[in-house]
Amino acid sequence: MPSVLDIFDETVAVFGAPGRYVQGPGAMARVGGCAAQLGRSALLLADAQVLPLIEAVITESCAAQDVALTVLPFAGALGPATAQDLAAQLPGPLPDCIIAAGGGRAVDAGKALADRLGLRLITLPTVASNDAPTSKNYVLYDTNDHLLEVRHLARSPDFVIVDTRLLAGAPRAMFAAGLGDALSKRAEALACAAGQGTTMFLSRPPRLATATAILSHEVLLAHGKAAYDAAGTGQPTPAFEAAVEAMILMAGLGFESGGLSVPHALTRGLPLIAGVSHKPHGFQVAYGLVVHHRLLDESMNTTLTDLYHHAGLPLTLAALAGRTVTVEEMRLVAEASISVRHMLNFPRPLTLADLLAAMQAVEDNAYV
């Protein structure tokens, strides 16, 4: 692939980012101070399962800053009517901002509500399972839990608060999912820059976004194993801090302004396969990255495959599904994915036959 400096054209490029990114052990205690910069009242929309872990700290933090706080648990379903349903539950006047806390769906529910009501937004991830907290986009699902639509806020979140002590206490499998999601960003950003596609801003990627995605990958190759070992312990280590920054901040900026490609396009088709639909997004993306490398006729380096093995990420579709997958099932995935806009973000035009051949080659010549 050409040098990063040689593959950019001169059309309009856009770089987007949150207003402020705050990371570190105990960072959650800063929520009140951040909310106070946005107004005098806030709504904490939080995943019902994690609310007991965060409510007291956030309540105290907001009270110390004279920010009136309302708490609304989020049950987990995220569809086209979710924002309307949540808005109907709000008591009294609208808050000045929303604090969206939890996993990817809870954060996206907060984005959906902020979008509907035109409110300022603070995201507070409680797991490092994805890089959505920094971005303006959010995902809605149908009643079968399949991706239905990607919508976009008018602006990026005002604050992203990442409490690494909280994240280090989350299940290790969720960290592995975030690792799988983030590891794809370098390859996807480079492919977008080399191809004719566009980013989440419907623009060409600026060099800074691609460089950020590349750095994210390098940090994860250097610190990913040690960070994975620290996940679930509740004790963030220097490696864990480095990996979380790479997985949330760098990967988030890298994907939104740098562009997505084959790994994320395949997530439109992969849930159609039995055994895959409820696998974490990051595990699906990790498999998609293997296919992406095959389409480029590139081998994945041993440092990357070693990290896959260490974190239990799938190197084949069979590993992702937990069973042998038929050619007919691979065709179903390819047909549902080939028309996704991200497929244009590739150095050459891709056909259905190209995608099927790469998927089959991955299964026939599995990385071990």
Q: Give one word for 340, left, alpha or beta, with left for phi > 0 and alpha for psi -120 to 50.
A: beta
What phi and psi values does residue 123 have, to the nearest 5 degrees? Answer: -105, 140
Residues in Cβ contact with 22 at an 8 Å cutoff, skipping those fewer than 6 apart: 30, 34, 159, 160, 161, 162
Q: Let me know: does 320 contact 215? Beta carbons within 8 Å.
A: no
Which CATH entry fits the domain spanning 20-168: 3.90.226.30, 3.40.50.1970, 3.40.190.80, 3.50.50.60? Answer: 3.40.50.1970
pLDDT(5) > 90: no
Q: What is the three-class DSSP state of 98?
A: strand
* Highest mean pLDDT: which range of 77-81, 90-94, 259-263: 259-263
49 vs 71: CA distance, rounded Å:
13
Tokens matching residue 286: 């990790």
Q: Let me know: does 136 contact 155? Beta carbons within 8 Å.
A: yes
**pLDDT band, residue 225 (cuts 50/70/90):** very high
How far, in Å, are 179, 217, 324, 326 from residue 280 at the CA level? Answer: 11, 20, 19, 21
pLDDT(3) > 60: no
Q: Quick one: pLDDT at residue 23? A: 98
356 vs 351: CA distance, rounded Å:
9
Residue with tokens 């380096």: 301
Give the CATH class of 171-364: mainly alpha
Q: Read off the pTM.
A: 0.94
**pLDDT band, residue 76 (cuts 50/70/90):** confident
Residue with tokens 């993306």: 285
Between strands 97-102 and 68-74, the pairing is unpaired
pLDDT(341) > 50: yes
Q: Quick one: pLDDT at residue 195? A: 87
Q: Let me know: does 254 contact 16? Beta carbons within 8 Å.
A: no
**pLDDT band, residue 2 (cuts 50/70/90):** very low
Burial classification of residue 103, based on how many CB atoms lie within 10 Å of its CB (0-12 exposed, 13-18 middle, 19 or more buried) = buried
pLDDT(9) > 60: no
DSSP string, 101-148: EESHHHHHHHHHHHHHHT-EEEEEESS-S-SGGG-SEEEEE-TTS-EE
pLDDT(8) > 80: no
Q: pLDDT tens-digit profile of 226-284?
A: 999 999 999 999 999 999 999 999 999 999 999 999 999 999 999 999 999 889 999 99
Compute the radius of gyration of the chain from its Cα atoms. Answer: 20
Instruction: Give the angle subtended at the CA of 174 by the CAs of 35 and 121, to the nearest 5°.
Output: 20
Average pLDDT, the chain: 94
139 vs 132: CA distance, rounded Å:
10
Q: Quick one: pLDDT at residue 249? A: 98
354 vs 188: CA distance, rounded Å:
17
Q: Let me know: does 289 contact 263? Beta carbons within 8 Å.
A: yes
Domain range list for the chain: 20-168, 171-364
The stretch 34-60 carries a mean pLDDT of 97
Q: Quick one: pLDDT at residue 148? A: 86
213 vs 209: CA distance, rounded Å:
6
97-102 sheet: strands from edge to edge? 20-24, 159-163, 120-125, 97-102, 41-47, 68-74
The stretch 117-122 carries a mean pLDDT of 97
Q: pLDDT tens-digit profile of 276-319?
A: 988 999 999 999 999 999 999 999 999 999 999 999 999 999 99
Strand partners, 188: none
Residue with tokens 């439109």: 268
Q: Quick one: pLDDT at residue 303? A: 97
**pLDDT band, residue 92 (cuts 50/70/90):** confident
Q: Which residue type, as a one-letter code, is found at position 85? A: D
CB atoms within 10 A of CB 93: 9
**pLDDT band, residue 146 (cuts 50/70/90):** confident
CB atoms within 10 A of CB 326: 10
Better pLDDT: 12 or 294: 294
